Structure 1
Amino acid sequence: MKNYNGFKKILLSGLLIFLMLAMISCNKSNEDSSTIVFKNVNVIPMDSEIILEGYNVIIEDGRIVDLGKSGEVKIPKDVRIIQGKDKFLTPGLVDMHVHYWYEDDLTLYLANGVTTIRDMFGNPNNLNIKEQIQEGSLLGPRFYAASPIMDGSPPIWPGSAVPATPEEARKFVIEFKEMGYDFIKVYERLSANVYNSIIQTAKEQDIPVVGHVPELVGIEKVLKSGQKTIEHLDNYYDGEGLYDLTVENNVWNCPTIVVYDRRVYPVEILDGVNYMSPQTIQSYQRSLNPYSPSIGTLKRITRKLHEKGAKILLGTDANNPFVIPGFSIHDELCNLVDAGLTPYEAIKAGTYNAAECLEVLDEAGSIEIGKNADLVLLSANPLDDITNMKAIDGVMIKGNWISKFEIEEMLEAISEKHKKEEK
């Protein structure tokens, strides 16, 4: 009898070990599954101001393949499940005005729910980064690249293209498109005839023109020219006729209020400053400017443009002093709400509006079947409070899930690297 009991114990122990190994193997298999399901999550689709409560959202091969009420959309077998109860799912944010400098920037964007960026000062290295992200050899947000700045002589920034004649401007536009840039960026010192050549050639080449308002052209003519976006509310003044002209010509504005707001703050209080290099922080200290433009004026112009029906984009001008990649997007969301947009409208500026401006609304900008699986899972409702966009529980980019724990590990690695640089 003792031998039987001993054998029974061994058998039960062996069976328990087998079951545990089987469960581990099953869980590992599910984690590696190409199909991921957000289960019982509250979806904020962003194509309208609603919350779809208790939905299952099925992701496969980087796309949303199905979604619906959890009782109606069945979960397939052998999939990875992300629990969404009491959580909120939004499209990933788009920062429509950044300056890419370092590979760590890509991590900072993803950690803050930014799944697409529009870089606004092109160079060959940025095209290389864009290509690596597209082919999947580098983890980062989707990357759109403006051309090198096109400016007059002398240019404001080194590295700008400086066409002296309309013919040279035409050659630059054609060359930049062939190189793979997504936009042509114009700047403040262009002459009127060179600017007009850029606009005309860009129309022929089917590549959008974005950027500043050349002083020798003026904002009224720029608004009528076909330029797609104006950055920083450049050359805007508080005038009803100007707002009407903006709407009539379907011009997008990317206010980037944060780039002015942040220049008056002490470095130590910046969210995310511990992920910046010591050299970068020192450069910030040298850039403090207590005489920054009136933030109130910028917000008032933003509000009036929005009230008139003009299209607003979410952007930061990241990597300017005090404007930390990723983290600054949340400051700009707050700025837009302070300017008079609702939380929904502010988020829309960085999701649906951005996709419309980039002409990818058929694949991005909202949570719908067939669209890209670039998503942010939040632990609180951002429509109640815009700061809840920071309550990130995980981020999905091209169907790849990055959990909150993994985000924290990635950020910690950057922080530790910079601590070593200080020694």
Structure 2
Amino acid sequence: MRLQSALSRLLASAASLAALTVPVAAQPSVRAFTGATLIDGNGDTPIANATLLVRDGRIVAAGPAARVTIPANAERVALAGKVIIPGLINAHGHASSVVNLRTYAAYGVTTVYSLGDETPDVFAARDAQRTAAPSHARVYVAGPVLNPSSPDDARAQVAAVADRKVDIVKIRVDDNLGTSPKMKPEIYRAVIDAAHARGLRVAVHLYYLDDAKDLLAAGADYVAHSVRDQPVDAAFTQAMLRANVCYSPTLMREVSTYVYESTPAFFKDSLFLAHANREWMATAQQPARQEATRTSVSAQRYKAQLPVAMRNVKALHQAGVPIAMGTDTGPVGRFQGYFELMEIEMMVDAGLTPTQALQSATRDAARCLKIDGDVGTLAAGKAADFVVLDASPLERISNIRRQHSVWIGGVRMVSLPQ
């Protein structure tokens, strides 16, 4: 029975993988996407009746139809009445397999900056995308989340991940609401110094404002979670601006800690159900699990602090701190791809405009992660990673869920329910 069960799971996994994979063989070298409204990610006025011309996975031209010449041999993809936006970028996720990367892509997340504990196949996928467009979300990796016990150990651990050619180093400076030891300042300073000596940036998981201030002073490069214990102040805001450090709110991470105290409404959304992990759904709906969440001190604490996190996002954005959309998806209950769409909507709830929230998930995220030469906006020379929507998210941010199709390197990934 165990063998049959394992075989059934393997076949189901293979079927799921096949459903999310799009063959790249025999794809036309030139495609012209015509008739859609184009939102290029720069905050400019959307272009009606636009043409997006793609050759060999790269954008050749993007603009009004009257200004783009379509070659005679191009395949035309008619998108009248649709809206094209840049592919979404998750600036803080966790990719534990290539299957996860296909799930991200199925929801329009075409790039994932994975901040820790990637498997060898994800490293291999990162390497392969340097020479060919992937059939899944692009990915960048951090390797193991470092947890050294001393400054010497910090330097050794940095050397080890540097040898694996990671894109960024990740550390945690958090006591999990007082339930575990927190990394000492002399240790995280050693990590930061050693990483910088090797040309690597450091992303930090944190919770408290005081830690955030000290980490900035130590040279941390990327704040990968919200400050949640208290409102950010002028000193922290100015330090972020001086250092040009980006801030990833991960509001959905907080939601995931308490939302399963009952069955969430999004469990009935057809878009969610199209690719959701059914085992996670079953676990979340167990009565004992829901009761444990309702009575969890930490879950209720995170729930109570979410409004603080949301106010901090608004305050920092208004001050000019770059915001990069991130979610911390990957662990059980944090559904890859769909949570990113909810995060964008939550950022609007926090006070950003739809345009600003969309930019945080495209252009601004790409700039923060130093990958804006390749992705983040739709312009000549960039990778042809984009999402086709049935309606404009600038008119109503929830339209980010009305997805018609997802394209990576000019190749369609998967069609989603409408």
TM-score normalised by L of structure 1: 0.80
- What letter corresponds to residue 231 of structure 1 in structure 2? A
Question: Structure 2: where are the runs of 5+ without partners?
Answer: 1-25, 174-181, 295-299
Alignment match, 1:418: none
Alignment match, 1:191: 184
Residue 202 of structure 2 is aligned to residue 209 of structure 1: yes
Alignment match, 2:240: 246
Residues 101 and 83 of structure 1: is their aligned pair in 2 closer, same or farther, counting only changes over 3 Å? same
Q: Report the Cα distance in structure 1 between the residues aligned to 2:316 and 2:199, rounded to whole angstroms.
A: 27
Q: Report the Cα distance in structure 2 between the residues aligned to 1:216 and 1:240, rounded to whole angstroms.
A: 12
Alignment match, 1:305: 316
Residue 213 of structure 2 is aligned to residue 220 of structure 1: yes
Q: CA deviation at 1:324?
A: 0.9
Equivalence map 1:276-295=2 (5 Å): 276-285=276-285, 286=289, 289-290=293-294, 291=300, 292-294=302-304, 295=306
Q: Report the Cα distance in structure 1 between the residues aligned to 2:207 and 2:193, rounded to whole angstroms.
A: 16
Alignment match, 1:28: none
2:293 aligned counterpart, secondary structure: coil
Q: CA deviation at 1:39?
A: 1.0
Q: Report the Cα distance in structure 2 between the residues aligned to 1:391 and 1:92, rounded to whole angstroms.
A: 14
Alignment match, 2:15: none
- What letter corresponds to residue 280 of structure 1 in structure 2? W
Q: Does structure 2 retain, via aligned residues, the 8 Å contact 1:49–1:344?
A: no
Alignment match, 1:378: 389
Q: CA deviation at 1:325?
A: 0.7
Q: CA deviation at 1:135?
A: 5.6
2:90 to 92, 95, 101: 95
Residue 373 of structure 2 is aligned to residue 362 of structure 1: yes
Look at both structures and tell me which one has the larger radius of gyration over its CA atoms. Answer: 1
Residues 170 and 327 of structure 1: is their aligned pair in 2 closer, same or farther, counting only changes over 3 Å? same
Alignment match, 1:229: 222
1:96 aligned counterpart, secondary structure: strand
Q: Report the Cα distance in structure 2 between the residues aligned to 1:176 and 1:36, rounded to whole angstroms.
A: 40
Residues 217 and 258 of structure 1: is their aligned pair in 2 closer, same or farther, counting only changes over 3 Å? closer
2:99 aligned counterpart, secondary structure: helix
Q: Does structure 2 retain, via aligned residues, the 8 Å contact 1:109–1:115?
A: yes
- What letter corresponds to residue 49 of structure 1 in structure 2? D
Residue 34 of structure 2 is aligned to residue 39 of structure 1: yes
Q: Report the Cα distance in structure 2 between the residues aligned to 1:348 and 1:363, rounded to whole angstroms.
A: 15
Residues 276 and 398 of structure 1: is their aligned pair in 2 closer, same or farther, counting only changes over 3 Å? same
Q: CA deviation at 1:274?
A: 6.4
Residues 400 and 215 of structure 1: is their aligned pair in 2 closer, same or farther, counting only changes over 3 Å? same
Q: Give deviations 1:298-337, integer Å, cap 9, x for gaps.
A: 1111111111111111111113343211111111011100
Alignment match, 1:104: 99
Q: Does structure 1 retain, via aligned residues, the 8 Å contact 2:227–2:309?
A: no
Residue 325 of structure 2 is aligned to residue 325 of structure 1: no
Q: Report the Cα distance in structure 1 between the residues aligned to 2:56 and 2:210, rounded to whole angstroms.
A: 47
| Alignment coverage as a number of residue pairs | 366
Q: Report the Cα distance in structure 2 between the residues aligned to 1:75 and 1:244, rounded to whole angstroms.
A: 48
- What letter corresponds to residue 159 of structure 2 in structure 1? I
Q: CA deviation at 1:387?
A: 0.9
Equivalent pairs: percent with the same residue? 25
Q: Report the Cα distance in structure 1 between the residues aligned to 2:39 and 2:133, rounded to whole angstroms.
A: 31
Alignment match, 2:17: none
Q: Which shows bigger deviation, 98-107 or 268-277?
A: 268-277
Q: Does structure 1 retain, via aligned residues, the 8 Å contact 2:58–2:381?
A: yes
2:166 to 178, 181, 188: 181
Q: Report the Cα distance in structure 2 between the residues aligned to 1:307 and 1:216, rounded to whole angstroms.
A: 18
Residue 161 of structure 2 is aligned to residue 165 of structure 1: no
Q: Does structure 2 retain, via aligned residues, the 8 Å contact 1:41–1:55?
A: yes
Q: Does structure 2 retain, via aligned residues, the 8 Å contact 1:150–1:190?
A: no
Q: Which shows bigger deviation, 255-264 or 96-105?
A: 96-105
2:62 aligned counterpart, secondary structure: strand
Q: Report the Cα distance in structure 2 between the residues aligned to 1:351 and 1:216, rounded to whole angstroms.
A: 27
Q: Give deviations 1:47-102, integer Å, cap 9, x for gaps.
A: 13311121211100111112332123222112221112222111100011112234
- What letter corresponds to residue 127 of structure 2 in structure 1? E
Residues 127 and 190 of structure 1: is their aligned pair in 2 closer, same or farther, counting only changes over 3 Å? same
1:242 aligned counterpart, secondary structure: helix
Alignment match, 2:143: 147
Q: CA deviation at 1:173?
A: 1.0
Alignment match, 2:66: 71
1:80 to 75, 99, 102: 75
Q: Does structure 2 retain, via aligned residues, the 8 Å contact 1:259–1:317?
A: yes
Q: Which shows bigger deviation, 125-134 or 330-339?
A: 125-134
1:53 to 35, 48, 54: 48
2:206 aligned counterpart, secondary structure: coil
Residues 215 and 191 of structure 1: is their aligned pair in 2 closer, same or farther, counting only changes over 3 Å? farther
Q: Report the Cα distance in structure 2 between the residues aligned to 1:194 and 1:201, rounded to whole angstroms.
A: 11
Residues 186 and 234 of structure 1: is their aligned pair in 2 closer, same or farther, counting only changes over 3 Å? farther
Q: CA deviation at 1:145?
A: 0.8
- What letter corresponds to residue 320 of structure 2 in structure 1? G
Q: Does structure 2 retain, via aligned residues, the 8 Å contact 1:191–1:214?
A: no
Residues 267 and 34 of structure 1: is their aligned pair in 2 closer, same or farther, counting only changes over 3 Å? farther
Q: CA deviation at 1:122?
A: 2.4
2:44 aligned counterpart, secondary structure: coil
Indicate the structure whose relative CO is greater, using CA pairs within 8 Å and at least 6 residues apart. 2
Q: Does structure 1 retain, via aligned residues, the 8 Å contact 2:327–2:343?
A: yes
Q: Report the Cα distance in structure 1 between the residues aligned to 2:102 and 2:365, rounded to whole angstroms.
A: 21
Q: Give deviations 1:136-188, integer Å, cap 9, x for gaps.
A: 5962111011131112xxxxxxxxxxx23222211211221220211111112
1:118 aligned counterpart, secondary structure: strand
1:382 aligned counterpart, secondary structure: coil
